[in-house]
Structure 1
Amino acid sequence: MSRYTFEELLNNVAPFINMQQNVNINITKKLMFTIWVLAKPESFLAASDRFGLPKSTGHKIFRNITHSLVQLMPQYIKWPNAAQKQLSCNIFEARSRGFPGVIGAIDGCHIPCKQPIGNANDFYNRKSFHSIILQGVCDHRGLFIDCFIGMPGRMHDARVFRNSPLFHQISNAERPLIPENMHLIGDSAYPLLYNVMTPVRDNGHLTFSQRVYNTKLSSIRSIIERAFGLLKNKFRRLKYLDISDFNLGNDMIAAACVLHNFIIIHDGINVEEEDDFFNEANIEIDDIVHEEGLQAVQKRTQIIELF
């Protein structure tokens, strides 16, 4: 992040910072300290010593700035407009050599966390660790266009999706969020909906066109895995949230997502080329049965017939 882009971030977040707290500490130092804590897996004591701060002061500053960064979510994590949707469709179609109408990829990422007091079972996921779920949707750049944060790790991706504001928005027939000829793509953990295309289940008798469809969908859906991988490698605190306050944990995840988008927008990172980050994503792919609406099946069949 260059000096000029850092100054822009500082200017954007400044109106949301509680200036009455730690008035003797420069606002630039507060933001740099917060980004450092999110980016490095060292203790608060070590990070505070590095910046010449008492540990208790470091905690207060981190909470204040992290919460302020969350207030920037509407500015940096927002649904694409018509032109941006069409651009994503064009690029995804070119990358997949023919898969039409894709404006983004959806998936869930488990953020490992400390065992919560009094509710350990709900956060204990099927991979045998405690976690908070981040549901993300990204565009062709790996830029998050929607985030839903805070569901317990035991919850299945499909249930997280159905509890998210995004599900209700794309299900709104009166004010559809996604045009009829466009859709998101997800793995088999997600329900097949008119605006969410998923793989055809492999029963051992897939046609050639169905196999091609699955391959093309998988090839472009990997962008969300790369986005999660980049997020966790840039902000390594998300590899394990050693905190008891889960509201702060949710804010830390949200703040990291805001910074992820800010970096991509201003530094021009190409997530598609970040091969080192691909295997860092914590993705679950489940094989469960969903009810598939007739219109959704017909739309998927029409796409398959293109191949």
Structure 2
Amino acid sequence: MIWKLEAQWEEFIERVVDQYSDEVFRENFRLARNTFNEVLRLVKDRISTADMAVGHHTISAKAQLLITLWYLATPDSYRRSPPYSGAISFKIFPSTIGAIDGTHIPIPQPKDHGISYINRHNYSSIILQAVCTPDLKFIDCYAGEVGSCHDANVLKRSPLGNVLLQGPEESFPNDVHMIGDKAYPCLPQLMVPYRDNGHLTRMQQNFYFNLSRARSTIERAFALLKNRFRCLQHLNVLSIEWIPKYIVACCVLHNICIENNGAPMKHSRSIIIKVVRLGILTSLN
């Protein structure tokens, strides 16, 4: 029976998926067909067929990747992603490399230490912390902290936080910095709003407004990510160890979609992302 299921997948891909128009393929799997083929080329040697083996039969790397993309994009029957309409520029804040924020990824409540996963909105979640550029691409991602963890503590525990607190000069040369909301501490490399005590000057109010507008880029990036890969609206994965990897994999694919926009992939090695423990997006160069 399992072998028949595997055979049905291969037959379905050959007879149905391979006949999809480019538009239908992209609608179902979120990647243009030529981008999918390039991603497959990059990962096929790393996909373990042993894990998918059934007797003497295995599911092909192509089928595994298609199944994965289908799952990430389609937890239900609704498939609509908001149009990508560009991003707000950071030009008003010179030397800003990105906007930072955190977002909650809903998950089933774990059996162990389940209370710690409940966030301020009263549901269980894993936190994704990310930094994005004006074009909504992620340049740093960190996932794995429990939902009850405050944004400032997530930053402190992340590799990016270690850089900011211990040796920022090498990673943030020439006075470059990030922007964030009031949940984060004000640091030389992290610009946050003034505390609004009701007595802000006109200049401070203008700064507050412009910073909030620029920082909204990360909120738009999260919205685009979750609508493109709708599994992140409720990640029904029981293994806590695997959840950060799912999340960061979606971030990687999100970058690929934006970078290529349906065109053939260029400089493909530059978007190979190393996913390590707790789901850290460690290289974009």
Please tell me the TM-score bracket, short chain as reference: 0.7 to 0.9
What secondary structure sits across from 1:35 in the alignment? helix
The answer for the alignment partner of 1:132 in structure 2 is 126
- Whichever residue aligns with residue 108 of structure 2, its letter is K
Deviation by residue 1:149-171 (Cα, 9 ceiling, x = unmatched): 10000000000000110011133
Cα drift, residue 25 of structure 1: 2.2
C-alpha separation in 2, matches of 1:174 and 1:251: 26
Given candidates 224, 231, 241, the residue that maps to 2:235 is: 241
- Whichever residue aligns with residue 99 of structure 1, its letter is F
The answer for the alignment partner of 2:90 in structure 1 is 92
The answer for the alignment partner of 2:185 in structure 1 is 191
Contact 2:49 2:60 in 1 (8 A): no
Structure 1 pair 268/28, CA: closer, same or farther in 2 (3 Å)?
Answer: closer
The answer for the alignment partner of 2:44 in structure 1 is 14
Contact 2:97 2:178 in 1 (8 A): yes
C-alpha separation in 1, matches of 2:100 and 2:236: 27
The answer for the alignment partner of 1:165 in structure 2 is 159
C-alpha separation in 2, matches of 1:123 and 1:187: 23
Deviation by residue 1:138-186 (Cα, 9 ceiling, x = unmatched): 1111111001110000000000000110011133347531124221000
- Whichever residue aligns with residue 7 of structure 1, its letter is N
The list of structure 1 runs, each at least 4 consecutive aligned residues, that deviate by more than 6 angstroms after superposition, is none
Matched ranges for 1:21-32 at <5 A: 21-22=52-53, 23-32=57-66
C-alpha separation in 2, matches of 1:114 and 1:207: 46
Given candidates 66, 70, 74, the residue that maps to 1:40 is: 74
Contact 2:32 2:262 in 1 (8 A): no
C-alpha separation in 2, matches of 1:172 and 1:263: 34
1:2 aligns with 2:28: no
- Whichever residue aligns with residue 40 of structure 1, its letter is T
What secondary structure sits across from 1:210 in the alignment? helix
Residue correspondences, number = 220
1:150 aligns with 2:172: no
- Whichever residue aligns with residue 19 of structure 1, its letter is T
Cα drift, residue 17 of structure 1: 0.7
Contact 1:180 1:195 in 2 (8 A): no
- Whichever residue aligns with residue 211 of structure 2, its letter is L
Contact 1:184 1:197 in 2 (8 A): yes
What secondary structure sits across from 1:192 in the alignment? coil
Matched ranges for 1:70-89 at <5 A: none
C-alpha separation in 2, matches of 1:115 and 1:173: 37
What secondary structure sits across from 2:102 in the alignment? strand
C-alpha separation in 2, matches of 1:127 and 1:100: 35
RMSD between aligned residues: 2.1
C-alpha separation in 2, matches of 1:204 and 1:42: 45
Work out the percentage of aligned pairs sharing the same amino acid. Answer: 44
C-alpha separation in 1, matches of 2:191 and 2:127: 22
C-alpha separation in 2, matches of 1:229 and 1:238: 10
The alignment's TM-score, normalised by the length of structure 2, stands at 0.73
1:267 aligns with 2:261: yes
Structure 1 pair 102/258, CA: closer, same or farther in 2 (3 Å)?
Answer: same
- Whichever residue aligns with residue 92 of structure 1, its letter is F
C-alpha separation in 2, matches of 1:175 and 1:14: 38
| Residue ranges of structure 1 left out of the alignment (5+ in a row) | 44-87, 270-307
